[in-house]
Amino acid sequence: MVTLACEGLAVALGGRVVLEGAGAAFAPGGLVGVIGPNGAGKSTLARALAGLLPAAAGRVTLDGRDIAAIPRAEVACRIAYLPQGQTLHWPLSVERLVALGRLPHLAPFQRIGPEDAAAIDRAMALTEVTHLRTRVATELSGGERARVLLARALAVEAPVLMVDEPLAALDPGHQLDMMALLKAQAVEGALVIAVLHDLGLAARHCERLLLLDRGRLVADGPAGDVLAPERLAAVFGIHAWTATVEGQPILVPLRRDG
């Protein structure tokens, strides 16, 4: 069972501390949402947890080991990371792009084998892009590209899946599909951490939310507790309507608070 944690984590970018004093522990089997206003440090936290940013203070541990001391190839096999807003420059086919997710498992110059091909097929089926297999990835729509890039991350078949703003460019139907897919990955035993801006979808689909504000972790817990009206006002400056519909929590931002 994979575990991921950060202790007293601080990250500096360009000489400025943008994340400070973050502490949290994560275990498989749940969908964890990371929320907060623009510039709160959400992407920074995700990148640090994936071992892509060095800690200025504190540390990140993967299965109890300092992630900075683990070989990058091993980390890449254990944590699949989907960054936000990727731009594609090379005219690869969708299948070849998704196949890049298998690189952490291959030795230099090793060809893709039957197990890799099966993982690629599974990832494309999960994200419903199999029919795009032969299309050139740079010619896809924004929504299609988002699903293909998620397929690349899923093709790693890592025990930890870290996704940053996976709903960007998706229509409402595919947003619901995306959240259902992430939830299903968690139910099947993966540790899934998603940076999200849609508070309503976060409330409905995430068992746990981490709320960041100005580089600090200010709340960590069930969605109903984290998204309390006083916190929405203090952190986001909004007033929201909340209700339960068909057994699901609903949150709709209504206006700026005050």
Instruction: Check whether 90 has a pLDDT greater than 70.
Output: yes
Within 8 A by CB and 6+ apart from 149, the residues are: 82, 86, 97
Q: Where are the domains of the chain?
A: 4-86+158-256
Instruction: Check whether 117 has a pLDDT greater than 80.
Output: yes
Mean pLDDT for the chain overall: 93
Instruction: Check whether 22 has a pLDDT greater than 90.
Output: yes
pLDDT, one tens digit per residue, over 152-198 is 999 999 999 999 999 988 889 989 999 999 999 999 999 999 999 99
- For residues 42 and 15, the model is more confident at 42
Considering the four listed CATH numbers 3.40.50.12780, 3.40.50.300, 3.40.50.880, 3.30.465.10, the one that applies to the domain covering 4-86+158-256 is: 3.40.50.300
**pTM, rounded to two decimals:** 0.94
Q: Say which residue the tokens 């949290």 belong to.
A: 24
Instruction: Check whether 1 has a pLDDT greater than 90.
Output: no
DSSP state of 106: S
Instruction: Check whether 85 has a pLDDT greater than 80.
Output: no
Distance CA 53, CA 61 (A): 13
